[in-house]
Amino acid sequence: MKTLSAQEIFEKLKGKFGDGVVSLQTESVNPPFAVVPPGSIQEVCRFLKEDPDLLFDYLVCISGVDHKDKFAVAYHVYSTEHRHRIGVKAMLPHDNPVIPTVDVVWKAAIYLERETYDLMGIVFEGSCDPNRILLPDDWEGHPLRKDYIYPEQYHGIKI
C-alpha cells in the first residue's frame, strides 16, 4: 500500500499522456480534479485502473454538472488497495454533450451513467444500456439542467 497525493497522481498521468491531460484543479476543491478532454476519458480511466501504482479499482460517483455554458462530468475514483482518491473531470459543450462511456472500465458506471443521462441529458456513447432509469420513458426534458422548465402536466395529472 502506497498512498499517493493528487499531485503525484497527476504527474503520473502527465507522464503517460503528455498533453492529453489538461490541468489539475486543486483550488477549493476536494478531492482535486484532473481535467481531461472528453475524447481521451476512456484511456485515462483504463490507465488509472490498471497502473500498478494507481489501481483505482472503485468508481465512487459520476455526476453531471450544468455550468450553463457547458457541461462537466465529474468522476470520483478511489483505490481500495492504495487508499488514495482523485477526481477526473471532462468538459462538454452545452449544445451537444456527448462523451465516451466508461462502463467498459468499471461496471459500476452503468447505472451512474444511466442516471446522469436521465437527469442531465449527457449522452454516453457506446453505453451498454442507454435508457432512462428514474423518470418514465416518455418524460420530456432533463430536470437537473438549469434551464429546465417544469411541465404543466403529465398524463393528465397536474404537476
Partner 1 sequence: MTEPISKEALRTDEWTINMGPHHPSTHGVLRLELTTDGEIVSKARPSLGYLHRGLEKIGERVAWAQFMPFTDRLDYLAGMNCNCAYAWAVEKLAGIEIPERAEWIRVLVCELNRISSHLVAWGSFCADMGAFTPLLYGIREREWVNDLFEMVCGQRLTYNYARIGGVSHDLPPGFLEKTKEFCDYFEPLIDEYNRLITYNKILVHRLKNIGVISARDAIEWGLSGPNLRGSGFAYDIRRAEPYSVYPKLDFNVVVGHADRGTLGDCFDRYLVRIDEMRESVKIVRQVIDRIPDGPVMAKVPRVFKPPAGECYFRAESPRGETGFYLISDGGTNAYRLKIRTGSYMAMNIFEKISKGVMISDIVALIGSFDIILPETDR
Partner 2 sequence: MSQGPAKRKPIKSNIFDVVPAPAEIPQNVLQKNFERVRACKGGEGIIEVGIADLFINWCRKNSLWYLYYATACCGIELMQGGASKYDFDRFGAVFRATPRQADMLMTAGTITHKMAERVQRIYAQMPEPKYVIAIGACTITGGPFYKDSYSVVKGVDLILPKVDVYVPGCPPRPEAWIEGIRNLQNLIMKTKNYGLKKA
Binding region for partner 2 (CB under 8 A): 135-136, 143, 148, 150-151, 154-155, 157-159
Note the residues at the interface with partner 1 (CB under 8 A): 27-31, 33, 57-61, 63, 65-66, 74, 76, 80, 83, 87, 106-108, 110-112, 115, 119, 132-136, 143-144
158 binding partner (options partner 1, partner 2, none; Cβ < 5 to 8 Å by kind): partner 2
Peptide bond preceding 100 in cis form (omega within 30 of 0) = no
Could you tell me the sign of the dihedral formed by the alpha carbons of 93, 75, 126, 37, in that order?
positive
38 binding partner (options partner 1, partner 2, none; Cβ < 5 to 8 Å by kind): none
C-alpha to C-alpha distance for 159 and 148, rounded to whole angstroms? 14
Place of cell 432512462: 132
CB of 108 to partner 1, least distance (A): 3
What is the SS3 assignment for 118?
helix
